[in-house]
Amino acid sequence: MTGTTSSSSDTPAPVQTPAPATTTVTEPDIRPVTDDGDHDRFAHYTRRADANRAYVEGTPVRALCGKVWVPSRDPSRYPVCPECTKIRERLRRRAYN
């Protein structure tokens, strides 16, 4: 008796399609940093001409300690930044030696 029997080799294997790839797109945060934490609680040393220009034109200045900001407040209302003070003293000593 000859008959056809189905074997596992006659059955096609199920087709496996890869799952769609998922990716997370991370957009860079391009908002300007407007505060620097504790640095906002201090008055900073910067060149007088730069500070005057910044008050008039609204341009940012860089303090001796590295903080960059647009001056808009009365610095006499705040304590002086300790890092700016250290740098200023070092510069003064170097200038007199």
Structure confidence by residue, pLDDT tens digits, 36-71: 455 568 999 999 999 999 999 999 999 999 999 998
* Contact in structure between 43 and 81 (CB atoms under 8 Å): yes
Burial of residue 11, with CB atoms counted within 10 A of its CB: 0-12 exposed, 13-18 middle, 19 or more buried: exposed
Structural domain spans, the chain: 42-96
Q: Is the pTM of this model over 0.75?
A: no
